[in-house]
């Protein structure tokens, strides 16, 4: 866990990196970051500090940027700014971007040529790649948008919906586990006295397929936000009514117990 409880910092990494020249130790050769992680942005300034440290110690820097698009669309820095700090970055065309399949690896032509060889050697080559590339193009140009900050795209709408979900949850007294900075809202179900199984059931009753406490807003959810938010409100209302019932029962039990002693 990062010390600040939100995102990894240079201090977290430096504490765990092995950069001495002792022949008995195992020197750190690569640092791998994930941005966004749990929907939370690792700020550009922090990535710059980590990249400088990596360069200084000749450590390769990779970023799992499956959801890096979300950070850029949220205004945290352009794709170019984030990617230029790293030796390699992988980004997904699926997830919030909506393509059915596909990821891309970004790096120098030397690294990409080597990666192509490795991919082929482990059976990962795809000759008829057009069926994957076509939806990926739509995902980038239309969902993310044509600019490096997602200008003209659809992701920001999903971020607004994630915030609306947080606000709705907060109105009932709910707390979230991570700050809502992009398209994810992590409900603290435990503090709300609700099991995942019960939450899923309440979702089913309201016509929502929920999988757990991580609610991810897709751009198509943003396009149907009135309907989705109404159903979620129904789920949250029932959940908090049940919690109030549990709290009352507990209070009665406690007072009976006190009366007996
Ligand atoms: C953070 C993260 N990185 C990488 C991946 C892998 O993506 P792909 O299977 O498209 O390479 C996923 C997929 O779920 C992911 O969530």
**Tens of pLDDT, residues 160-196:** 999 999 999 999 999 999 999 999 999 999 999 999 9
118 plus 18 within the same structural domain: yes
Contact 210, 196 (CB under 8 A): no
The CATH number linked to 25 is 3.40.640.10
The structure tokens 């959810």 sit at 221
137 plus 169 within the same structural domain: no
Residue 47 has pLDDT above 90, yes or no: yes
195 plus 89 within the same structural domain: no
Question: Which residue's alpha carbon is nearest to atom 16 within ligand 1?
Answer: 66
Distance 236 CA to ligand 1 centre (A): 30
Q: pLDDT > 90: what percent of the chain?
A: 90
The span from the CA of 83 to the CA of 178, in Å, is 25
Q: Is residue 33 in contact with ligand 1, taking CB distance under 6 Å?
A: no
| Residue 92 CA, closest ligand 1 atom number | 10
- Domain end position, chosen among 90, 125, 144: 144
* 150: in domain: no
Q: Which of 95, 103, 104, 136 to mutate to test the pocket of ligand 1 (most atoms within 8 A of CB)?
A: 103
- Domain end position, chosen among 120, 144, 168: 144
Residue-number span of the structural domain to which 19 is assigned: 10-144
15 plus 138 within the same structural domain: yes
Q: Is residue 180 in contact with ligand 1, taking CB distance under 6 Å?
A: no
| Residue 102 CA, closest ligand 1 atom number | 10
259 — pLDDT class (breaks 50, 70, 90):
low
260 — pLDDT class (breaks 50, 70, 90):
low
Residue 257 has pLDDT above 90, yes or no: no
Q: CA torsion, points 135, 139, 143, 144, in degrees to nearest 10?
A: -160
- Long-range CB contacts for residues 230-237, cutoff 8 Å, separation at least 24: 231/206, 231/207, 232/165, 232/168, 232/206, 232/208, 233/168, 234/205, 234/206, 235/199, 235/202, 235/203, 235/205, 235/206, 235/208, 235/210, 236/168, 236/169, 236/172, 236/174, 237/172
* 2: in domain: no
pLDDT tens digits, one per residue of 201-222 = 999 999 999 999 999 999 999 9
137 plus 160 within the same structural domain: no
* 3: in domain: no
* 170: in domain: yes
256 — pLDDT class (breaks 50, 70, 90):
confident
42 plus 166 within the same structural domain: no
The predicted structure's pLDDT at residue 1: 80
- Domain end position, chosen among 119, 144, 169: 144
Q: Is residue 51 in contact with ligand 1, taking CB distance under 6 Å?
A: no
Question: Which residue's alpha carbon is nearest to atom 13 within ligand 1?
Answer: 66
* 39: in domain: yes
The structure tokens 């059915």 sit at 100
* 174: in domain: yes
Q: 261: exposed, middle or buried (C-beta count within 10 Å: 0-12, 13-18, 19+)?
A: exposed
Question: Which residue's alpha carbon is nearest to atom 5 within ligand 1?
Answer: 66
The CATH number linked to 182 is 3.90.1150.10
Q: Which residue has the higher pLDDT, 10 or 255?
A: 10
234 plus 128 within the same structural domain: no
40 plus 118 within the same structural domain: yes
Domain count, the chain: 2
107 plus 139 within the same structural domain: yes
């Amino acid at each position: 866990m990062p010390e600040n409880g939100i995102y990894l910092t240079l201090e977290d990494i430096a504490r765990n990196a092995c950069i001495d020249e002792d022949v008995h130790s195992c020197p750190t050769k690569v640092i791998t970051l994930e941005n966004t992680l749990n929907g939370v942005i690792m700020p550009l300034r922090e990535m710059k500090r980590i990249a400088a440290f990596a360069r200084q110690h000749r450590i390769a820097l990779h970023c799992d940027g499956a959801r890096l698009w979300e950070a850029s669309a949220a205004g945290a820095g352009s794709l170019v700014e984030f990617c230029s700090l790293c030796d390699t970055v992988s980004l997904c065309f699926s997830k919030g971007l909506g393509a059915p399949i596909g990821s891309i690896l970004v790096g120098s032509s030397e690294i990409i040529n080597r990666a192509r060889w490795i991919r082929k050697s482990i059976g990962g080559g795809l000759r008829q790649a057009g069926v994957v590339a076509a939806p990926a193009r739509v995902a980038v140009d239309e969902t993310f948008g044509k600019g490096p900050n997602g200008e003209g795209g659809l992701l920001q709408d999903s971020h607004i919906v994630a915030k609306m979900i947080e606000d709705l949850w907060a109105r009932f007294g709910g707390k979230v586990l991570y700050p809502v900075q992009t398209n994810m809202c992590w409900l603290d179900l435990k503090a709300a006295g609700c099991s995942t199984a019960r939450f899923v059931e309440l979702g089913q009753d309201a016509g929502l397929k929920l999988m757990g406490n991580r609610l991810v807003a897709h751009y198509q959810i943003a396009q149907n936000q009135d309907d989705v938010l109404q159903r979620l409100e129904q789920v949250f209302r029932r959940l908090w009514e049940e919690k109030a019932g549990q709290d009352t029962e507990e209070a009665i039990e406690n007072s009976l117990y006190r009366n007996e002693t």
